[in-house]
Amino acid sequence: MAGKIEINTDRCKGCYLCIEACPKNCIIIGQETNASGYFPAVFEYEDKCIGCSMCAMVCPEVIIKVYRD
Amino acid sequence: MAGKIEINTDRCKGCYLCIEACPKNCIIIGQETNASGYFPAVFEYEDKCIGCSMCAMVCPEVIIKVYRD
Amino acid sequence: MSTLVYEKPESLYDRKTHYCPGCGHGVAHRLIAETIDELDIRHKTIGIAPVGCSVLAYNYLNIDMVEVAHGRAPAVATGMKRVKPDHIIFAYQGDGDLASIGCAEIMHAAHRGEDITVIFVNNAIYGMTGGQMAPTTMVGQIASTCPNGRDPLKEGYPMQMAEILSIMPGATYIERCAITDPANIRKTKKAIKHAFQRQLDGENGFNMVEILSPCPTYWRMSPVDAKKHITEQMTKTFPLGKLKG
Amino acid sequence: MSTLVYEKPESLYDRKTHYCPGCGHGVAHRLIAETIDELDIRHKTIGIAPVGCSVLAYNYLNIDMVEVAHGRAPAVATGMKRVKPDHIIFAYQGDGDLASIGCAEIMHAAHRGEDITVIFVNNAIYGMTGGQMAPTTMVGQIASTCPNGRDPLKEGYPMQMAEILSIMPGATYIERCAITDPANIRKTKKAIKHAFQRQLDGENGFNMVEILSPCPTYWRMSPVDAKKHITEQMTKTFPLGKLKG
Amino acid sequence: MSEKVLMCGNEAVAEAAIQAGLDAFFGYPITPQNEIPEYMSRRMPEEGRVFVQSESEIAAINMVYGAAATGARAMTSSSSPGISLKQEGISYLAGSQLPAVIVNMMRGGPGLGNIEPSQSDYFQATRGGGHGDYYHIALAGNSVQEMADLMYDAFDLADKYRGPVMVIGDGILAQMIEPVDVFAKKRPPIQTDKSWALGNLKDRSPNIVNSLFLGDNVLENHNLRLQAKYQIIRDTEVRFEATDTEDADLIVVAYGIASRIASSAIRKARKKGLKVGLFRPITLWPFPAKPIAALAGQGRKFLAVELSYGQMVEDVRLAVNGASPVDFYGRAGGSVPTVEAVLEKIEENLK
Amino acid sequence: MSEKVLMCGNEAVAEAAIQAGLDAFFGYPITPQNEIPEYMSRRMPEEGRVFVQSESEIAAINMVYGAAATGARAMTSSSSPGISLKQEGISYLAGSQLPAVIVNMMRGGPGLGNIEPSQSDYFQATRGGGHGDYYHIALAGNSVQEMADLMYDAFDLADKYRGPVMVIGDGILAQMIEPVDVFAKKRPPIQTDKSWALGNLKDRSPNIVNSLFLGDNVLENHNLRLQAKYQIIRDTEVRFEATDTEDADLIVVAYGIASRIASSAIRKARKKGLKVGLFRPITLWPFPAKPIAALAGQGRKFLAVELSYGQMVEDVRLAVNGASPVDFYGRAGGSVPTVEAVLEKIEENLK
Amino acid sequence: MTNSFQEKITIAGFGGQGIMLLGKLLAQTAMKNNLNVTYMPAYGAEVRGGTANCMVCLGTDPIANPMVINPDTLIVLNKASFSKFLPKLKSGGKIIVNTSKIDNAIDRDDIEVIAAPIDDIAIALDSPKSANMVALGIFLQSHSFLSPQMACDCLCDVLAKRYHSMLQVNADAILKGAQSIQ
Amino acid sequence: MTNSFQEKITIAGFGGQGIMLLGKLLAQTAMKNNLNVTYMPAYGAEVRGGTANCMVCLGTDPIANPMVINPDTLIVLNKASFSKFLPKLKSGGKIIVNTSKIDNAIDRDDIEVIAAPIDDIAIALDSPKSANMVALGIFLQSHSFLSPQMACDCLCDVLAKRYHSMLQVNADAILKGAQSIQ
Ligand SMILES: Cc1ncc(C[n+]2csc(CCOP(=O)(O)OP(=O)(O)O)c2C)c(N)n1
Ligand SMILES: Cc1ncc(C[n+]2csc(CCOP(=O)(O)OP(=O)(O)O)c2C)c(N)n1
Ligand code: SF4
Ligand code: SF4
Ligand code: SF4
Ligand code: SF4
Ligand code: SF4
Ligand code: SF4
Ligand SMILES: [Mg+2]
Ligand SMILES: [Mg+2]
């Protein structure tokens, strides 16, 4: 089952928790700081996502939306 | 073994606890109030006393002295 | 055609938090908000924000809230619940707030068996004031007021509030959870929901969900390491599971 | 030729007390004074009088004493013991003082494992202020603020402080006694002596002797009935015996 | 026939509070006000309302805070040491603008002191024993009847100005039994906008009850709003009783129980031909500074009489502002000035 | 070369206390004074002395009470809400005549307020936030150096007069880093009779430390002794700094951080040719009433500047007693008066 | 109508002697008969330890000061109270002494002494607990502002319901007391 | 000796940019060189949430008021601080802008702008964390009261022992910063 996530990177604090939680390693840390000075998480390997919501579950900022086909 | 007690009746509050505690029923309540208005305990049956200190042990006013032969 | 399977709950504002990266308060807030949504009790829920890093919880939870004096949330909750018995009253408290200055208030709310819920976010430190020792600070843990690590002979062993409160007959449901990983986060959510549901059902008694929660900043760890620390160390001192009810 | 086998201890003044007839405080004072005499520690013992009927304990105990704010004796004891570690510091507390207003202070003295002794005189009532309900008031017991008897659903079940404090690793010796009859009074004395001896020996940790004690006045019973009430009723809620150590 | 019954001040205050629509009482025992929680423990459940004996004074004031935050009429009572413990909570009530009533039946201090009557908490009551720039209305009666009457006012004023109101008595007014009609001033609670209250969240955005204000000048602006409110109260809520002050060469200023002793002395002084009047503040805060200022000057003298070592006298001095000499007589620590001593002081001032 | 190092006010206060012979520190965290307990937690064990992080402010003040009762030099520190919670304990210290030092680094109020600087606890500090007729010495510095120096005085005065002494700063003085020599005023503790202290009971009858006094007039007599002591303190311990007051048409009265802002404004005013002076109380209680009274009159005006909505100004008015007009300027809630605003107010007064 | 007057009374005895009830009944009687009145019990810890006392003020004008330091009349039912309060009695005042318990000599000649074996009178009525009522009867009889019967009529207002079986014996005691000094 | 002067400086940036160390080193340098100085960090909960700032006052006379509302010089290392503090800069004041992070236009012409790619300079030194020192170098170079070398000499006073391996790289950064605007 294919999934998709959207991260509100403006509000991301680059805590790595979603990265660590993703069973499919879809998320990596970005190279550019956002307005708050953090390196935000980026949904990089979109095709691997299964929409399991693990990332959203652990995100302290509650800024991940998860979609499933 | 023969015993003897002295009760400081001026300070007695007539609580009956010594009377109740005495295994030999040596103590009774007096008929006259003391200066504080209480009927004090009286060491009445002196010959029965065995000096066991039960009375002193329970006296909240700590006004009983116990002697033994 | 993709469907949205997860987004923030209604009862949570879409707003930047003031929390440090990886702080546990954000997840705790979310779980409460989801519970409120799912039980459809937003109109009759009142939240109590403590003094602690979560003092601004009312900026994130989209419900009626009150901010109260440090440690006194259980007393405030008592006042509220007694005059609003049909409302769901919950107090959100940190470990300094609940176990230290507010020790008498939490003990007596449990003692009286107040029909309230306490969400106890135990991060083993005073976050807001800059990382001082809490009653729950781990043995050996460094904090700004125990610079050589907590010494149980001088400062005592970590205080197990869930165990202590469980003795009280007035406390009818107490569970300790941790927001370390999705499985435990799910358990935490279930516990919060159970606690609120009990109030809703009018089941008598004080209930509390303790949440072991990371403070990466004052644990001086990355958020990922902080969560590991909970799983590997903290749960030894504070075992997870239902203690009562 | 008769010899004196019992009289008041040295550390007790020869003075009329202000207590009601049959009140337990007098016996509790005596046991402390005897212990001090027997351990020969009068010169290095400091007593702490609470607010409660025993607020004037310094008028009866012939030792250095301090009278302190309601409920705060364990904090005061902490301050003292930390600066005078070679002294025997004991706090004398009533159930309102210890379990209600002073709940946080007793919990944390035990939590930190302060090397102090607490003599906890539990008479299940607020004596000094005229018979209001205490946290330890028995279910159904009438008090001036629960005129229909304590209702556990509204006011909670009697608070078992000895059990609660025993959970704390910092508490190393806790025993519950009763001054009902000579046998139990002797046990109480032994417990107090053991507690003081531990301090004297430098054994670490908080220790406490709880004493179930009659308040004939506000139990509305004769002193004799009040003692029976302890034996027959109170010990069901507050079982006697060593809880720790 | 009078509708009056004999009641002590504590009971009268309690029943009047109930009549004034009290929803919830929270309190902790302390002499000399124990009859208040005791009375409440019986009467509140009868009325289907809330009584909780709290674990401490701090818990009580915070229970009041909680109940008040939902819009309920809530109250606590205590005496001096217990009122000291409530200071943080009172500061919070003021900061969060929550209506509440606190009764202080003052006793001898400092520390544990004793349980005798005293007026030594005047400073605390009028200048914020707690932290921050707040004031609260402080009402002082001088009879069991007036103590009861003031309870109706206390709740209404608390609602009207959204803040704590303190009702102040002492060991005598608490324990003294007098004929009283607790219904004398009975009226329905004033209707105020309580849309700020918590609970029943429907068709509105969430309400927040709060005393924390972050950001540049946000707390300052909140304080300026509080100060503006305090000014309105100063301008409109001053209460006092002036007796024989017009022709007086000396005005005795005294409140509460001290004013009764003073009035005995004044009666005797008048009999001796001395022109003495009594000015009795009923609101200790706002203090009746303007009426006193209006009486000052013209060769008139003032004498403050208190069961303290001189607290209210500072307000008298501030009001008089140098226009008249202000003398003081007081006893405290549970001792009460005698009529004779006050009379002597009056005569000394008029010599 | 100067011996000075950079330290924030909190640390300087802490180190100076240690140098002054502090035996035991008890405290609970609260911003903006956290550096005090943090510093103590490191330094006190190094010195083999006592540091305990208490479970609350109430526990802290009572631990101080216990340590002080044995004759030890004991101290606690906190900020506004925490100081409110200590009021009962402070009243007990005063009643039992125990020496102790309490530091209040004031923040914005009321309630939780914020953590910014403020001077809104002046009333509480000078008129007993607690119950009963007591006062305690209150010392306010205006630099990190003076805050440190005052710690030596605080402990000595506490011992000398057997009572609590408060040292008062605010968020700025607590957090500001300045060059400081914490040893500048170092001296051995004054020797006072501590035969009242508990412990080591040999060759004497037992000592009792107590604030409860029962029996006719016993508490009154105790209070009269306290009042006599307070009078001695008023007569002998007043401290202040008067700068350019002799020729001044307007005297600005300000303490602590406000006095630094005021002095900037005054310098500017003097440059503009305005005759303005600064009167800076260092003892807030006893307030320097006599020196101010001596300056009053002669067409001179006064302006009190505070980080509050007008607290110390009442003491200025009481001192001036109508002889001069007294104006006020203040901001609070964490906001700080600007030099420009104070200057404007000065000019307004001299127009 | 009597002329304007004010009377300040101190009543003292042991805890169990019904001092408070005596005071309260006097106050109630005064109130019911349109006098101004205040009643001030001793309170608090004081109450422990065995002695009890209260202060009653009554009169035609409002009572300014409820505290009684130097009473116009002193009613003492036991020795301790006698010794404590006698010196405080106003010159020209009255003392009602329970001679059943107090055999002390009275060393003042500026006062009026009303001595009666109050306990014995009550015992004679087979109601030793009614000594307080006997004392009240004596008090009322020795003053003119309220009649003993007025007090009898107020008994049911101050006696708790559960004691209403005692109304008659108490009334008898009041009247007996009054007669005893007629 | 320079003439009498006073300089009020606000320094602002992200939490991790070493703002506090910058301020503290400046204060130390001033103190060591016999200037009066105050240093006021932002404190408390404020510190969370990512931005940091502090205020330094230095000069020949005692500093009356340590609060800096309208600074003489503003050092800003990130955008958020730039937007927040620029309006507060005194007319005629100086702003030191980290152009590596701030590309905003400056809409005031009453101030002196000292723009430098501060982060890039630090990165070029292989020590991105030393941007704060670069900024200090720029500040000292653009004012005459203290030399960059004086700051280098004070480094060991303010750097915690465990960072003393960084002394050299920090000194280099100070000097590099100074050179960058020479
Ligand atoms: C009466 C009082 N004392 C102290 C403080 C300072 N204070 C604020 S939050 C806090 C402790 C925070 O720790 P915790 O409750 O564990 O919450 P966290 O920040 O860790 O979530 C303290 C001591 C205060 N605001 N009020
Ligand atoms: C701060 C404060 N609150 C309340 C009181 C009143 N008070 C005095 S003793 C007491 C309770 C006494 O009960 P307990 O501790 O059980 O002692 P007991 O008299 O029964 O021996 C109370 C509430 C007080 N003195 N101080
Ligand atoms: S939904 Fe699951 S798979 Fe997709 S990014 Fe999130 S954690 Fe990874
Ligand atoms: S968990 Fe959330 S805040 Fe953390 S890195 Fe991922 S998206 Fe960002
Ligand atoms: S010593 Fe024993 S036998 Fe003698 S009176 Fe006492 S209890 Fe009775
Ligand atoms: S136990 Fe003591 S006080 Fe009680 S009756 Fe016996 S002697 Fe008297
Ligand atoms: S300090 Fe700790 S608890 Fe507070 S916001 Fe940061 S991580 Fe969370
Ligand atoms: S009231 Fe109770 S506890 Fe107090 S002295 Fe009397 S019997 Fe003892
Ligand atoms: Mg915490
Ligand atoms: Mg008790």
Question: Which residues from G are below 8 Å from D217, CB to CB?
Answer: 48
Q: Whose CA is nearest to atom 8 of ligand 7?
A: C23
Tokens 């009001």 map to which residue? E319
CB E79 within 8 A of CB D70: no
Whichever domain contains E259, its CATH number is 3.40.50.920
Quick check: is C54 in a domain?
yes
Interface contact E92-F112, CB threshold 8 A: yes
What is the ipTM metric for this complex?
0.97
Interface of D with G (CB under 8 A): 18-20, 53, 128, 130, 217
Interface contact C21-A68, CB threshold 8 A: no
Q: Is the pLDDT of residue H2 over 70?
A: no
Pairing of strands F240-243, F283-285: unpaired
What is the identity of the amino acid at A14?
G
Q: Which domain, by its residues, includes E63? A: 5-236
Question: Which residues from C are below 8 Å from H48, CB to CB?
Answer: 18-20, 53, 217
- Note the residue count of chain D: 245
Q: What whole-number distance in Å separates Cα of residue C177 and Cα of residue C157?
A: 20
Chains A and H touch (3+ CB pairs under 8 A): yes
Across the interface, of E30, E55, E111, the residue whose CB is closest to D129 is E30
Q: Is the pLDDT of residue D175 over 50?
A: yes
Across the interface, of E113, E131, E227, the residue whose CB is closest to F132 is E113
What is the identity of the amino acid at B33?
T
CA distance readout (Å), C49 to C91, C124, E305, F68: 7, 18, 46, 36
Ligand 4 first shell, C-beta below 6 A: A 7, 12-18, 40-41, 58-61, 63-64
Chains B and E touch (3+ CB pairs under 8 A): no
Give mean pLDDT in consecutive 10-residue pieces for chain C, a chain of 245 residues: 92 95 98 98 98 97 98 98 98 98 98 98 97 98 98 97 98 98 98 98 96 97 98 98 97
Reading phi first (left if > 0) and then psi (alpha if -120 to 50, else beta), residue D213 is in beta
- Note the residue count of chain H: 182
Interface contact E171-G43, CB threshold 8 A: yes
Q: Do E218 and E257 sit in the same domain of this protein? A: no
CA within 13 Å, CB half, F16: 30
CB F331 within 8 A of CB F307: yes
* Per-residue confidence (pLDDT) for residue C66, from 0 to 100: 98
Whichever domain contains D92, its CATH number is 3.40.50.970
Question: Which residues from G are below 8 Å from B35, CB to CB?
Answer: 79-80
| Chain A neighbours, 3+ Cβ pairs < 8 A | C, H
Pairing of strands B27-29, B41-43: antiparallel
Q: Is the pLDDT of residue H85 over 60?
A: yes
- Note the residue count of chain F: 351
pTM: 0.98
CB B5 within 8 A of CB B57: no
H18-49, pLDDT tens digit by residue? 999 999 999 999 999 999 999 999 876 555 65
Quick check: is D94 in a domain?
yes
* Cβ of D51 below 6 Å from ligand 2: yes
Q: Which domain, by its residues, includes A8? A: 3-68
**What stretches of H77-128 adopt beta strand conformation (E)?**
94-98, 112-116
CB C128 within 8 A of CB H45: yes
G65-120, pLDDT tens digit by residue? 898 999 999 999 998 899 999 999 999 999 999 999 999 999 999 999 999 999 99
Check the CA dihedral C59-C61-C66-C72 and report its sign. Answer: negative
Whichever domain contains F143, its CATH number is 3.40.50.970
Asked if the bond preceding E288 is cis, omega within 30° of 0, the reply is: no
Q: How does residue H52 score in pLDDT terms, banded at 50, 70 and 90?
A: confident
Q: Which domain, by its residues, includes G26? A: 6-180
Question: Which residues from H are below 8 Å from A31, CB to CB?
Answer: none
Pairing of strands E5-8, E24-27: unpaired
Question: Which residues from F are below 8 Å from E132, CB to CB?
Answer: 80, 108-111, 113, 118, 120-121, 332
Q: Give the mean model confidence (pLDDT) for residues D110-134.
A: 98
The size of the A-H interface in CB pairs under 8 A is 11
Tell me how many domains chain B contains: 1
Q: How does residue D91 score in pLDDT terms, banded at 50, 70 and 90?
A: very high
Quick check: is G1 in a domain?
no
Quick check: is H98 in a domain?
yes
Burial of E224 (0-12, 13-18, 19+ CB in 10 A): middle
* Per-residue confidence (pLDDT) for residue H64, from 0 to 100: 87
* CB contact E249 to G (< 8 Å): no
* Cβ of C27 below 6 Å from ligand 7: no
Q: Do F176 and F45 sit in the same domain of this protein? A: yes
**Nearest CA-CA distance, residue C78 and chain D, Å:** 11
Q: What whole-number distance in Å separates Cα of residue C70 and Cα of residue C98?
A: 9
Q: How does residue D1 score in pLDDT terms, banded at 50, 70 and 90?
A: low
> Whole-number mean pLDDT of chain B?
95
Q: Do F218 and F246 sit in the same domain of this protein? A: no
Q: What whole-number distance in Å separates Cα of residue F119 and Cα of residue D152?
A: 47
Pairing of strands C64-67, C45-49: parallel
Q: Give the mean model confidence (pLDDT) for residues F276-282.
A: 98
* Per-residue confidence (pLDDT) for residue H49, from 0 to 100: 57
Candidate from D51, D105, D218 with most ligand 2 atoms within 8 A of CB, to mutate: D51
Q: Do E148 and E14 sit in the same domain of this protein? A: yes
Query: Which atom of ligand 2 lies nearest, measured to the CA of D51?
Result: 9
Q: What whole-number distance in Å separates Cα of residue H166 and Cα of residue H168?
A: 6
**Nearest CA-CA distance, residue C147 and chain F, Å:** 7
| Chain B neighbours, 3+ Cβ pairs < 8 A | D, G
Quick check: is G146 in a domain?
yes
What chain F residue is nearest to C130 in terms of C-alpha separation?
F34
Q: Is the pLDDT of residue F86 over 80?
A: yes
* Per-residue confidence (pLDDT) for residue F2, from 0 to 100: 46
CB D90 within 8 A of CB D211: no
Q: Give the mean model confidence (pLDDT) for residues F164-184.
A: 97
CB E75 within 8 A of CB E102: yes
3-state class (DSSP) for residue C147: coil
Q: Do E264 and E280 sit in the same domain of this protein? A: yes
Q: Which domain, by its residues, includes C86? A: 25-244
Candidate from D128, D215, D221 with most ligand 8 atoms within 8 A of CB, to mutate: D215
CA of C27 to the centre of ligand 9 (A): 15
Tell me how many domains chain D contains: 1
Quick check: is H1 in a domain?
no
What chain G residue is nearest to E260 in terms of C-alpha separation?
G64
* Cβ of B29 below 6 Å from ligand 5: no
Tell me how many domains chain G contains: 1
Q: Do E279 and E325 sit in the same domain of this protein? A: yes
According to DSSP, the residues that pair with E5 across neighbouring strands are: E180
Interface contact C101-F34, CB threshold 8 A: no
10 Å Cβ neighbour count for F50? 23
| Cα dihedral: C85, C86, C92, C93 (round 10) | 10
Question: Which residues from A are below 8 Å from H79, CB to CB?
Answer: 35
Q: How does residue A35 score in pLDDT terms, banded at 50, 70 and 90?
A: confident
Burial of G143 (0-12, 13-18, 19+ CB in 10 A): middle
Q: What whole-number distance in Å separates Cα of residue D135 and Cα of residue D158?
A: 6
Q: What whole-number distance in Å separates Cα of residue E332 and Cα of residue E99?
A: 32
Residues 6+ apart with CB under 8 A from D94: D50, D52, D53, D54, D121, D122, D123, D126, D127, D128, D134
Ligand 8 first shell, C-beta below 6 A: D 19-20, 23, 25, 53, 123, 127, 215-218; G 48
Q: Give the mean model confidence (pLDDT) for residues A7-33.
A: 96
- Percent of chain H beyond pLDDT 70? 95
> Whole-number mean pLDDT of chain H?
92
* Per-residue confidence (pLDDT) for residue G2, from 0 to 100: 52
* Cβ of A54 below 6 Å from ligand 3: yes
Tell me how many domains chain E contains: 2
What chain F residue is nearest to H39 in terms of C-alpha separation?
F177
Q: How does residue H15 score in pLDDT terms, banded at 50, 70 and 90?
A: confident
Q: Do F12 and F150 sit in the same domain of this protein? A: yes
Distance of CA F61 to the CA centre of its chain: 16
Candidate from B17, B18, B25, B55 with most ligand 5 atoms within 8 A of CB, to mutate: B55
* Per-residue confidence (pLDDT) for residue H1, from 0 to 100: 44
Give mean pLDDT in consecutive 10-residue pieces for chain E, a chain of 351 residues: 84 98 98 98 98 98 98 98 98 98 98 97 94 98 98 98 98 97 96 97 97 94 98 98 97 98 96 98 98 97 98 98 98 95 98 90
**Nearest CA-CA distance, residue C56 and chain A, Å:** 15
| Chain F neighbours, 3+ Cβ pairs < 8 A | C, D, E, H
* Cβ of B41 below 6 Å from ligand 6: yes
> Whole-number mean pLDDT of chain D?
97
> Whole-number mean pLDDT of chain A?
95
F123-137, pLDDT tens digit by residue? 999 997 999 999 999
Whichever domain contains G106, its CATH number is 3.40.920.10
Interface contact G14-B35, CB threshold 8 A: no
CB E133 within 8 A of CB F111: no
Q: Do F244 and F168 sit in the same domain of this protein? A: no
Q: How does residue F349 score in pLDDT terms, banded at 50, 70 and 90?
A: very high
Interface contact C170-D154, CB threshold 8 A: no
Q: Is the pLDDT of residue F150 over 90?
A: yes
Per-position DSSP letters for E257-326, written without gaps between them:
HHHHHHHHHHHHHHHTT--EEEEEESEEES--HHHHHHH--TT-EEEEEESSSSSHHHHHHHHHTTSS-E
